[in-house]
Amino acid sequence: MQYIPNILFALVFIGAIAFFVKNVKRLARNIKLGKSIDVADNRPKRWNNMLRIAFGQTKMVVRPIPGLLHTIVYVGFIIINIEVLEIVIDGLFGTHRVFAPLGNLYDILIASFEVLAFLVIFAVAVFWIRRNIIKLKRFVKPEMKGWPKKDGNLILYIEMVLMLLFLTMNAADFKLQQLGAEHYVQAGSFPISGHIAFFLDGMGIPTLITIERTAWWLHILGILFFLNYLYYSKHLHILLAFPNTYFGKLGPKGSFKNNDAVTKEVKLMMDPSADPFAAPPEDAPVPEKFGASDVKDLSWLQLLNAYTCTECGRCTSECPANLTGKKLSPRKIMMDTRDRLEEVGKNIEANKSQFVDDGKQLLDDYITREELWACTSCNACVEACPVSIDPLSIIMDMRQFLVMEQSAAPSELNNMMGNIENNGAPWPFNQMDRLNWSQE
């Protein structure tokens, strides 16, 4: 009978890890639907970017208040994982505070966990107030209605409850240590829970054990639930921020990659020995679609970007088009890409690993042409993103599809390109008349 809790915990733990692995495989499959690109260059700089941006949170603290609060939650998440490791070991082997023999180091660890837990509760409360009472403008944009808003709040509630359970567990443990209860060894320093333990005064050992065990079980079950909830939440960036910053763009933000097919044509035109009327070889590859109209036309890195989006809205709050009332929201571009990718993934699962045309695509069904052409390509969204996401690359690829596959550029742009072709300049003046202004 004494091993039943350990067996039960092992089953729950293995089941949670199995479900997590299943979600990781689903995530990897969806990302791999994107086109292959080579981002293996300059590894030292990539490692530096990951350490600086993902680990160091350097782009988060550009805005001091939310940056500091987020850093508290982030550090708390990293360090408290040591406490989770102890709970897992205790749950599997029936021990209690297995790291207690560390002595003074263990006291320091538990004390730091408690202080961080308290600070996380404070930070989460501030985040909730900013979202629901102050209602900062970037949190009440149209794309944040419905599930995104509920998801953001649900994450805050989960984090709050997990920290409260941790402190309640420690408070009950502290009282049991004072009462000399069997199995509850003298270990740990409790600067926070030691001060709230008076709520448990007058309770007997059986009641305290019930409270401690209940809080212990709910705390670890909550963590396992949160682990598997990540896939369905904006908090997937907790895991993906690291590879996303590693594979992020290294060159100047204002540079754009030349289209290989167009480059080849230009080189052919400039080659005096080339025959412009020669038919292509029979084994020549069929030209790919120019640009992107659906998620499979994007690169795997762009799809990784979509899953990494934190929905913080910093990109949208910096976007000049959005600030002037245009429909474009870089955050919505990423959310729409992720939603469409999820839809394609479910389609593949439902049809035995084959995608069956559903009559929809990212262009028009999710992202409108009005949004795409509102973009000024200023890169403000790319600069603002705290985890190196590049919404502009998706916008430009979809624009390329509209121009080169559908000839569906706005009339002003078509006129400009026609003038460049005919007059060598964007303006509708004959080349012979281009210097007339100097005579006036």
Q: From CA 55, how far away is CA 70, in angstroms rounded? A: 12
| CB-count burial class (<10 Å; 0-12, 13-18, 19+) for 313 | buried
- pLDDT band with cut points at 50, 70 and 90 for residue 411: confident
| pLDDT at 262 (0 to 100) | 78
Q: What is the CA angle 38-44-49, rounded to 5?
A: 85
Q: What would the pLDDT profile of 51-66 be if each residue is shown by its tens digit?
A: 999 989 899 888 888 8
Q: What is the CA angle 104-55-86, rounded to 5?
A: 35
Three-class secondary structure assignment of 122-184: HHHHHHHHHHHCCCCHHHCCHHHCCHHHHHHHHHHHHHHHHHHHHHHHHHHHHHHHHCCCCCC
Q: Is the pLDDT of residue 254 over 70?
A: yes
Q: From CA 347, how far away is CA 307, in angstroms rounded? A: 18
Q: Is the pLDDT of residue 149 over 90?
A: yes
Between residues 186 and 51, the one the model is more confident about: 51
Output phi, psi for 163, to 5 deg.
-70, -40
In the chain, where the domains are located: 4-44+51-232, 260-268+288-423
> What mean pLDDT is reported for the chain?
90
Average pLDDT over residues 357-372: 96
| pLDDT at 283 (0 to 100) | 63
| pLDDT at 430 (0 to 100) | 78
Average pLDDT over residues 100-125: 91
Q: What would the pLDDT profile of 267-320 be if each residue is shown by its tens digit?
A: 877 877 777 666 666 665 655 788 999 999 999 999 999 999 999 999 999 999
| pLDDT at 258 (0 to 100) | 81
Domain 260-268+288-423 fold is Fumarate Reductase Iron-sulfur Protein; Chain B, domain 2 (1.10.1060)
| pLDDT at 1 (0 to 100) | 61
> Among all chains, which residue has been given the structure tokens 């005064």?
201
Q: From CA 158, how far away is CA 227, in angstroms rounded? A: 11
- pLDDT band with cut points at 50, 70 and 90 for residue 333: very high
Q: Is residue 20 a contact partner of residue 331, using CB atoms and an 8 Å limit? A: no
Which contacts (CB < 8 Å, 24+ apart) does range 134-140 have?
137/317, 138/312, 138/313, 138/314, 138/316, 138/317, 139/313
